[in-house]
Amino acid sequence: MSERMKIVKIALWWFGIVLAIVLPFLLPKDYHVHMLVLAGIYSILALSLGLIMGFTGQVSLCHAAFYGIGAYTSSLLALNWDWPFWISLWVGAIGAGFVSFLLGCLVLRLKGHFLAITTAFFGIFVALLFNNLTELTKGPMGLPGIPRPASIDLGFLKIDFITRTSYYYLVLCFAGFAGYCIYRLIHSRFGQAMIAIRENEELSQSIGVNSMKIKLLSFTVGGMFAGLAGAIYAHYILFISPVSFTLAESINILTMVIFGGMQSFWGPIVGSFLLTILPEFLRMAGELRMTLYGLALMLLIIFLPSGLVCSIKEKWFSPSK
Amino acid sequence: MEIIFQQILNGVIIGSVYCLIALGLTMIFGILEVTNFAHGEIYMIGAYTSLFITSQLEIHFLLSLLIAMAVVGVLGVFIERVVFRPILGKPMINGMLLSFGLSIFLTNLALLLFKADPRKIESGYSQVRLTFAGLQLTLERLMVIIVSTLLVIALYFFIQKTKLGKAMRAVTQDREAAQLAGVSISNIFALTFAMGCSLAAAAGSLGGALFTVYPSMGWTPVLKSFVVVIMGGFGNVAGAIIAAMLLGLTESLCGGFISYAYKDAYAFLLLVVVLLIKPEGIVGGRG
């Protein structure tokens, strides 16, 4: 049985990889590829928030702030000093990680509701900075004309980032990279410590887990990947403004994580894809769109409290059967 | 010098609005352990109810405030039963996200029904000017302070002196023990939610008279009120009152003398300072 499961698993992996590679060619419209790129960016955000919330159990309502810090840092470096994307991207990610680290030092002593509301206010604070530091960020006007990534010449293959498909592969690579890092992290000794903190912080401390250090690690890594996603977003959309990085966006990312199921690795990824694509169907509802979205969110929490992936796992793959 | 006193007065007025919202929030948290982000929308519904009653039915503003409190209180019971009861005992993040859903739903429903243009509740007192020791004050603004003080006193007596109030405090301290002593948890939940919503409705009517009424009017005040709740200590009524005044004063003084653009940031800075110095809240502990 386990041998067969293994084969099925490997087959599924290969199927997934091949599907991910050919997917843009199967879709009829350029717009669909655009949705996929956005879903890919969101999956990086949801994965990193899943690390903080699902695995370490720390509720953060300021993920969009790190996303924004990454986006603004990278774009300002590219616009003002002509830094190439391939470097400014990492500076944006590290900058967001650094801010995340500082915030973590300040607020990670708090728990539950306290932490949630304090981080929410940090998010509002950062959005206010984007809006009011007009000399640097041009305020609500936003930053137009962010350059595209420089093209890559592999000799046999030249990729210049003009088509949506090329961006798709870029995001695919980075999402894969983020997924790999986070997967390795949660399956390492640190990941075990994170889960221990989530389940019972005092108990984990009593067996020698330095909970502050582990929480800070999770917060910093989460913030860093959010910054990475922000930088990619900025150089894809080519325009950023404070409205993309508000508390509402943080809640949106949070919903993806919860919808998919925050205590599983795949949950946030599934959540981000479904919640990028499903709301497109709500467009048909016109004016009623956001009202229905709120209603759907409520029904979701009431009827699927542990998220899609976790609920399916419990139902079909529970070890008791 | 006069400007400083004027700003202090403004701070007290805005502080009393925060206070009413925060008291409802802190009661609901103390008993149901839900961080209700939709409380701002309850505030908005209270404001629209009062607006409708004063403008369409031409009923006196203070009476409309009482009617709005009653109507929204009943709505609160409904919301508690239908929305929050099913997830009782689930992780806190679920309650939080549920309230976000409710908040999005109610804001957009209001946007469909009432459109986005801001309106104002005519209390009839906004033109009556009072001069007191060189300070300018309209009767309307004085009324905000008086009405909220009366409501806070009434709430205090209810919680401290009546049997239901004692039952509520018992549930806050220990849900199971209260249940064993014969308190009907279900009724206390409904009552708490109703009272919290009524207070928000009162705040909404007053806020709608002071400022304007529009579908997303509740979003910022409720976030500020959360800061008040944290600073006062979750579930702590006396702490919430002091913290509300502190936040109102900080906002109006810093907004007046430092920078108005960062008005919403002061709440965050104040929160960080309080959490660094006294993480258990200004008054300390859960009361």
Domains of chain B, each with CATH number or no CATH: 2-277 (1.10.3470)
Rounded Cα–Cα distance for residues A79 and A83 (Å) = 8
Measuring CA to CA, which residue among A121, A69, A123, A108 is closest to residue A92? A69
- Mean pLDDT over A10-19 rounds to 86
pLDDT, residue B279, reads: 66
Chain segment A292-304, per-residue pLDDT in tens: 888 888 888 888 8
Among candidates B92, B97, B101 on the partner chain, residue whose Cβ is nearest the Cβ of A113: B92
Contact predicate A126/A69, CB 8 Å: yes
- Treating both helix axes as pointing N-terminal to C-terminal, what angle do A63-81 and A112-132 enclose, rounded to 10 degrees? 30
Three-class SS string for chain A? CHHHHHHHHHHHHHHHHHHHHHHHHHCCCHHHHHHHHHHHHHHHHHHHHHHHHHHCCCCCCCHHHHHHHHHHHHHHHHHHHCCCHHHHHHHHHHHHHHHHHHHHHHHCCCCHHHHHHHHHHHHHHHHHHHHHCHHHHCHHHCECCCCCCCCEECCCCEECCCCHHHHHHHHHHHHHHHHHHHHHHHCCHHHHHHHHHHHCHHHHHHCCCCHHHHHHHHHHHHHHHHHHHHHHHHHHHCCECHHHHCHHHHHHHHHHHHHHCCCCCHHHHHHHHHHHHHHHHHHHHHHHHHHHHHHHHHHHHHHCCCCHHHHHHHHHCCCCC
- The pLDDT assigned to B286 comes to 44
Residue A31 pLDDT grade (very low, low, confident, very high; cuts 50, 70, 90): confident
More confident residue, A105 or B284: A105
Q: What is the CATH number of domain A30-280?
A: 1.10.3470
Mean pLDDT across B19-29: 89
A140 reaches B (C-beta below 8 A): no
B235/chain A closest Cα distance in angstroms: 12
Cβ contact B98–A254 (<8 Å): no
Identify which has the larger pLDDT, A254 or A151: A254
Between CA A221 and CA A226, with CA A223 as vertex, the angle to 5 degrees is 110
- Chain A residues in contact with B261 (beta carbon < 8 A): 128, 132
Which of B94, B112, B269 has its CB closest to that of A301? B94
- A contacts of B93 (beta carbons < 8 Å): 53, 59, 116, 258, 262
Does B50 touch chain A if contact means CB atoms closer than 8 Å? no
B86–A121 CB contact, under 8 Å? no
Q: Indicate yes or no: CB of A113 within 8 angstroms of CB of B29.
A: yes
Contact between chains at B275 and A118 (C-beta distance less than 8 A): yes
Rounded to the nearest angstrom, the minimum Cα separation between A232 and chain B is: 28
Whether the model pTM is above 0.90: no
Residue A18 Cα, gap to closest chain B Cα (Å):
36
DSSP state of B32: H
Residue B143 in this model has a pLDDT that exceeds 70: yes
Domains of chain A, residue spans: 30-280
ipTM, 2 dp:
0.81
Predicted local confidence at residue B141, as pLDDT: 84
The pLDDT confidence band at residue B281, using thresholds 50, 70 and 90, is low
Q: Each residue of B110-126: pLDDT tens digit?
A: 988 888 888 888 877 77
For range A43-71, the mean pLDDT = 92
Residues of A in contact with B272 (CB under 8 A): 106, 118
pLDDT, one tens digit per residue, over A177-209 is 999 999 999 899 888 888 888 888 888 888 888
Q: Is the Cβ pair A117, B227 closer than 8 Å? A: yes
> B131: which strand partners?
B136
Mean pLDDT of A232-258: 89
